[in-house]
Amino acid sequence: MNRILAALVAFLLLAGADASTLRAAVEKPYSGTLTVETGKPFGPFVKSLPAAIKQRGMNIVGIACATCAAKSQGVTVPGNRVFFFFKPAYAVRMLAASEAAGIEAPIRIYVTEAGDGTAKVTYRLPSHVFGAYEVPALDELGAELDEDVRAILEIAKSGSGG
């Protein structure tokens, strides 16, 4: 009888639960993924990113805004942006080393608003992404891009990207 009662309680709990609560998201599904807590409020950090990206000689090729898309549907979600950027000279080097690696450009950084209102950045290390191709020239490029992304985040955190 106790087993039947326990099974019934478990069934009722599961039946009333939202499916998303039953399965936790994998925070970093790909190896080589880093998350950086900026300590800077989301809005000012996002505003400082374009200048920081340009300061490192990169071009922004796009910005995706899930917050904006949700708002257009009447839904409010925490701050959320994806910045896409690359440097033309890097594109030339990348394609000379491996045409197949072209799918890895542009670099993406994902900025989300933490519960305390600060910006959190998640990205895949370029050295890890390009390292999968096992091409020495891409290894060199990936290491340079790692430094560029690190510097971009530091510039944006300090607010000195202007």
96-143 pLDDT per residue, tens:
999 999 999 999 999 999 999 999 999 999 999 999 999 999 999 999
User: What mean pLDDT value characterizes the chain?
Assistant: 87
Q: Residue 23: what pLDDT?
A: 53
Sheet holding 118-124, edge to edge: 33-41, 118-124, 107-113, 80-86, 59-64
Q: C-alpha angle 67/128/141, rounded to 5°?
A: 100
pLDDT band at residue 57 using 50, 70 and 90 as cut-offs: very high
Domains and CATH numbers, the chain: 29-158 (3.30.310.70)
Q: Residue 9: what pLDDT?
A: 40
